[in-house]
Amino acid sequence: MTGTLFSPFDLGDIALANRVVMAPLTRNRAGPGLVPSLLAPEYYAQRASAGLIITEATQVSPQAQGYQNTPGIYTPEQVAAWRRVTDAVHAKGGRIFVQLWHVGRVSHVDLHDGKAPVAPSAIRPEAKTFVNNAFVDVSEPRALELDEIPGIVESFRSSAANAIEAGFDGVEVHGANGYLLDQFLRETANARTDAYGGSIENRARLLLEVVAAVADEIGAGRTGVRLSPVSPASGIVPSGDEQPQFNHVVEALNGLGIAYIHVVEGATGGPRDAAPFDYDALRQRFGNTYIANNGYNLELANSRLGDGKADLIAFGHDFIANPDLVERLKTGTPLAQMEMATIYGGGAQGYTDYPASIASMDA
């Protein structure tokens, strides 16, 4: 279904006011117990004019954490705090999904009582994480044992159930940006010789098992997946088989009937032409909603929507300094620039204190 960025859209049974999606944005502001910040309801409600908000990546278990002060959704206290967020967004007429996250090897022993992070294989990436208020090299990981993998699947399933209890409209499984599920997909990160390694089908197995479990728990129509076929994020090294790998993944996801795929086109936060890849091949293999992400402006968004190449368009960093991004795009109001020093950690500064434009307030 073609349209413009500001036309309504039905995401399954969920009616969206427009086709603007707020992409997940890690802000490192969770409190003790990795409970979402007391400011989080205000932060997300300020941005509720987006057709759909996808929250910051949120841990499915203590083992899943890779950065300091990122929230979880596996304890009653975390669920209660997220309920305050969803209530605030719904009160403004918004829709909100939570992104479920396991970082895998992109972590540090200081977050895990000295224990090694887990990964498909004991291969340490050239990547950094944010811990002890600084960016540091990630720690050497250990390979997951075969009998640990069902527990990974269960942690996503139970967190999806918690998400519905917390009032979310759905969940997005984080299968992108070099984190655990993406690590399993990659030949350069996954050297396993069991059912979860080797062939394209085996490397996709964990992602598909997780998505199937989530969809079974909360319904396929409330389940989405984020993918980043060629992004080198978090130390991922391309192997050259990305097209057949992701063609297979998307065909299988289509068979599960999930609501959407959310595709980072190019390098996450970087060039769209980072590596050759046919995104239209994914679009053609997936019968439901395609969310396009990375480097979009109004002109490119409307072009892709008008050509039927995408259904929804995700914007990331622009939402940090522009809580009223939808109205700014609609009226042509210049975008505010974010303060780099306040992206990660801290309080209200650089989080809830970005003002709406005068044009937006008058609209």
Q: Which of 43, 44, 67, 179 is the catalytic position?
A: 179
Q: pLDDT value at position 31?
A: 97
Contact at 8 Å (CB) between 325 and 319?
Answer: yes
Which two structure tokens, joined as six digits, stand for 64?
Answer: 């899943």
Q: What is the pLDDT of residues 174-209, one digit of tens each?
A: 999 999 999 999 999 999 999 999 999 999 999 999
User: CA–CA separation, 29 vs 346, rounded Å?
Assistant: 6
Residue 335: count of CB within 10 angstroms of its CB: 14
Q: What is the pLDDT of residues 263-309, one digit of tens each?
A: 999 999 999 998 999 999 999 999 999 999 999 999 999 999 999 99
Q: pLDDT value at position 363?
A: 57
**CATH: 2.130.10.10, 3.20.20.70, 3.30.300.30, 3.40.640.10. Which one for 9-362?**
3.20.20.70
Known catalytic residue at 179? yes
Q: pLDDT value at position 238?
A: 87
Q: pLDDT value at position 361?
A: 61
Between helix 76-91 and helix 149-165 the angle, nearest 10°, is 40
Q: Beta strand 260-264 with 118-119: parallel, antiparallel or unpaired?
A: unpaired
Which two structure tokens, joined as six digits, stand for 92?
Answer: 């403004």
pLDDT by residue, tens only, the chain of 363 residues:
577 999 999 998 899 999 999 999 999 999 999 999 999 999 999 999 999 999 999 999 999 999 999 999 999 999 999 999 999 999 999 999 999 999 999 999 999 999 999 999 999 999 999 999 999 999 999 999 999 999 999 999 999 999 999 999 999 999 999 999 999 999 999 999 999 999 999 999 999 999 999 999 999 999 999 999 999 999 999 888 999 999 999 999 999 999 999 999 999 999 999 899 999 999 999 999 999 999 999 999 999 999 999 999 999 999 999 999 999 999 999 999 999 999 999 999 999 999 998 666 655
Q: Beta strand 9-11 with 14-16: parallel, antiparallel or unpaired?
A: antiparallel
Domain spans, the chain? 9-362
- Angstrom CA distances, 128 to 6, 113, 144, 190, 197, stand at 38, 19, 21, 19, 25
